[in-house]
Amino acid sequence: MRKQQRADWVRQRLGQLYPRPAIPLNHHDDFTLLVAVVLSAQCTDKKVNEITPALFEVAGTPQLMSQLGEEKILDIIRPLGLSKQKAKHLARLAQIIAVDYGGVVPSSIEALEALPGVGHKTASVVMVQAFGVPALPVDTHIHRLAQRWGLTSGKSVIQTERDLKKLFPESSWHDVQLQIIYYGREHCTARRCDGTRCLLCRELYPRRKKPVTWIKP
């Protein structure tokens, strides 16, 4: 099976398993989405969802979060990984959006990437989820599964993103990146599957016997 055929097959199977995938981070507008994605770095979505209700109750807008300040933000998000750094980023990020953008989250990937604590993946998630702009952000799950499924060489997340954008139709990017994440968390995990155990790995490579060593980002 050629690479494009594998990609088409994966997209079909994931569509059957997760027909209407939704972003797993709780939010109610563009700003709270951005905040939740920033907080999710090196942290589970479940843990973020436990913390954000208290944060959004007192700081659900850029203006309110800017007024709350770094120390009080830290008090709320302390259970999360990298909390000090994230509190600093959120305080500054909120101030910039409130002052420079009139309280409106910017809708260009360049402007988003210029915000404190917002890298390419975070900006891409916001672009596709908040503004409907085609993007295919690559996280650890997508990077790992793309290698196991023979869709990329896996040298870097940047290379993986480029490869997947060539293989999957632009119209599918919104759903497919969420579908891969869900499948990677539930079935093809880093420890529970080695490229030979989960359903899709076995269906895609029925003769594969040796574990797949994937290149971590």
CATH number at residue 68: 1.10.340.30
Domain co-membership, 12 together with 35: no
Are both 42 and 111 inside the same structural domain?
Answer: yes
Q: Is residue 217 one of the residues assigned to a domain?
A: no
In a domain, 126, yes or no: yes
pLDDT of residue 195: 94
Residue 38 has pLDDT above 80, yes or no: yes
Tell whether 35 and 124 lie within a shared domain: yes
Distances in whole angstroms, Cα of residue 48 to Cα of each of 45, 81, 162, 172, 215: 5, 10, 29, 27, 27
Q: Do residues 72 and 148 both lie within one domain?
A: no
The helix or strand, by DSSP H or E, that contains position 185, with its residue range, turns out to be helix 173-186
The length of the chain is 217
Q: Return the pLDDT at 1.
A: 78
Q: How far apart are CA 214 and CA 197, in angstroms?
A: 15
Q: How confident is the model at residue 86 (pLDDT cuts 50, 70, 90)?
A: very high
CA 150 vs. chain centroid, Å, equals 21
pLDDT score recorded for residue 58 = 97
pLDDT given for residue 5 in this prediction:
96
Q: Over the chain, what is the mean pLDDT?
A: 95
Catalytic residue positions? Answer: 121, 139
Whether 210 is in a domain gets the answer no
Q: Is residue 209 part of a domain?
A: no
Verify that 87 and 144 share a domain, yes or no: no
Mean pLDDT of 128-147: 94
Given 130, 165, 194, which residue is the final one in a domain? 130
Same domain? 15 vs 44: no
Q: Which of 109, 130, 151 is a domain's end point?
A: 130
Q: Could you tell me if 151 and 91 lie in one domain? A: no
Tell me, yes or no, whether 99 and 59 share the same domain: yes
Is position 212 within any domain?
no
In this prediction, residue 216 carries a pLDDT of 81
162 is in which domain, residue-wise? 3-21+136-204
Question: Does 70 share its domain with 125?
Answer: yes
Band (pLDDT 50/70/90 cuts) for residue 215 is confident
User: Number of structural domains, the chain?
Assistant: 2
Q: What is the dihedral of CA 157, 159, 161, 164, to 10 degrees?
A: -130
Final residue of a structural domain among 81, 96, 130: 130
The verdict on 119 and 164 lying in the same domain is no
In a domain, 99, yes or no: yes
- C-alpha span between 107 and 76 (Å, rounded): 28
Residue 154: the pLDDT is 81
- CATH number for position 167: 1.10.1670.10
Whether the per-residue pLDDT at 42 is higher than 90: the answer is no
Amino acid 213: pLDDT: 85
Whether 211 is in a domain gets the answer: no
Decide which of 65 and 217 is more confident. 65
User: pLDDT over 90 for what percent of the chain?
Assistant: 91
pLDDT of residue 155: 85
- Residues 39 and 90 both lie in one domain: yes
Would 213 be classed as within a structural domain?
A: no
| DSSP structural state of residue 170 | G
Same domain assignment for residues 52 and 14: no
